[in-house]
Structure 1
Amino acid sequence: MEQNELYPIFLKVTQLEVLIVGGGNVGLEKLTFLLKSSPNAKVTVVAPNFHQKLIELAKNHSVKLIDDSYKVSYLTDKHMVIATTDNIDVNIDVYKDCKDRNILINVADNPPYCDFYMGGIVTKGNIKIAISTNGKSPTLAKRLRQFFEEVIPDNINELAFNLNKYRNKIKGDFSNKVAEMNKLTEKLL
């Protein structure tokens, strides 16, 4: 049985510089996904043409649009890149340029050219759940996201806030705090 060996992390994209190469439908989809999860993400989009909805989305956020074809110089000071053009040769050039500079890269819909995948994300206040199918089925990740959005109550954020307040009041060392929190939350299962 094949195992998903991806390591999930939550990136502070308000502190990282993100570049999206491509301004068409796929660029719009990736930008929408990123901003839904992180509305204040620091994003630059470079493309010779932009989908009208992408332009509107950029205006409502602090997204910088650059009307130009991809050039390696656009990678300067970037931490992660998403290549979304409909030209596979351009996407592979972006991939190679990123790999040469140790920049994380996702070439949309092309798993061999990805350091990371943009999986399904469920957000309820401070609670965020990421879903990965290891690049096998974005549709399944979408359906699982919809399922969890339905079943996780909207007031889960209040529970997280109250548990945080309680955790901060517990005396003792780390293992004592873990034991107390485990005892308190065991009934959640």
Structure 2
Amino acid sequence: MERNELYPVFLKLHQLNVLIVGGGNVGLEKLSFLLKSSPNANVEVVATRFLPELVELVSKHDSVTLKEKKFKKKMLEKRHMVIACTDDLEVNRRIYELSRKRFLICNIADTPDLCDFYLGGIVTKGNVKIAISTNGKSPTTAKRLREFFEEVIPEDINKMVENLNEYRKSLKGDFENKVQRMNAITESLKK
């Protein structure tokens, strides 16, 4: 049986520099996805033209900038992450190859072989965030799972998380003792 070997991480995109190359429908989709989860993400979008909806979205986020230019390799300087979604596969492939040479993580839209990461489904309720991956095989399944979790996770889960954080801070003793006490108090979540 095939297994998902992706390693999930939660990035602080407001502290990183993200480049999106492409200003069409897919660029809008990728930017929307990033900003839904990280509204203060540090992003520059580069394209020769932009959809009006993308321009409108950017106008609501001070941390996002637009650059109306063709992609140049110099644009990869001082970046941490790159998403390429132009309608030219050769340009996308070049961006991937240049990114790899600079040890940048890169996602080439709709081309799983040219991706170091995927943008999966995300459920957010206050401080609780769940990421869903189908290993790049079925974004529709990830979407349905996201909708399911959004329904079943209670809206007040954030209050519980905050209360548990306060309790954790009040615990005395060594690390192992604290872990045991937190495990005991959260045991009912498994049921």
Alignment match, 2:103: 102
Alignment match, 1:46: 46
Alignment match, 1:156: 157
Give the C-alpha shift of residue 129 in structure 1: 0.3
Alignment match, 1:187: 188
Separation in structure 2 between the aligned mates of residue 173 and residue 115 of structure 1, nearest angstrom: 39
Alignment match, 1:140: 141
Percent of aligned pairs with the same residue?
A: 62
Aligned ranges 1:79-90 → 2 under 5 Å: 79-90=80-91
Separation in structure 1 between the aligned mates of residue 86 and residue 22 of structure 2, nearest angstrom: 5
Q: 1:3 aligned to 2:3?
A: yes
Structure 2 runs not aligned, ≥5 long: none
Separation in structure 1 between the aligned mates of residue 85 and residue 154 of structure 2, nearest angstrom: 35
Q: TM-score, normalised by structure 2?
A: 0.98
Kindly provide the CA deviation profile for residues 36-56 of structure 1, in whole angstroms up to 9, marking residues without a partner as x. 000000000000010100000
Alignment match, 1:111: 112
Give the C-alpha shift of residue 87 in structure 1: 0.7
Separation in structure 2 between the aligned mates of residue 53 and residue 166 of structure 1, nearest angstrom: 45
Structure 1 runs not aligned, ≥5 long: none
Give the C-alpha shift of residue 31 in structure 1: 0.2
Separation in structure 2 between the aligned mates of residue 153 and residue 33 of structure 1, nearest angstrom: 23
**Matched residue SS, 1:46:** strand
Q: TM-score, normalised by structure 1?
A: 0.99
Give the C-alpha shift of residue 187 in structure 1: 1.1
Separation in structure 1 between the aligned mates of residue 155 and residue 32 of structure 2, nearest angstrom: 22
**Matched residue SS, 1:41:** coil
Separation in structure 1 between the aligned mates of residue 189 and residue 133 of structure 2, nearest angstrom: 24
Letter of the structure 1 residue corresponding to residue 166 of structure 2: K
Task: Give RMSD over aligned pairs.
Answer: 0.5
Letter of the structure 2 residue corresponding to residue 78 of structure 1: R
**Matched residue SS, 1:161:** helix
Alignment match, 1:12: 12
Q: Which runs of 4+ in 1 moved over 4 A?
A: none
Give the C-alpha shift of residue 142 in structure 1: 0.5
- Number of equivalences: 189
Give the C-alpha shift of residue 188 in structure 1: 1.5
**Matched residue SS, 2:45:** strand
Separation in structure 1 between the aligned mates of residue 33 and residue 91 of structure 2, nearest angstrom: 22
Separation in structure 2 between the aligned mates of residue 76 and residue 175 of structure 1, nearest angstrom: 44
**Matched residue SS, 2:154:** coil
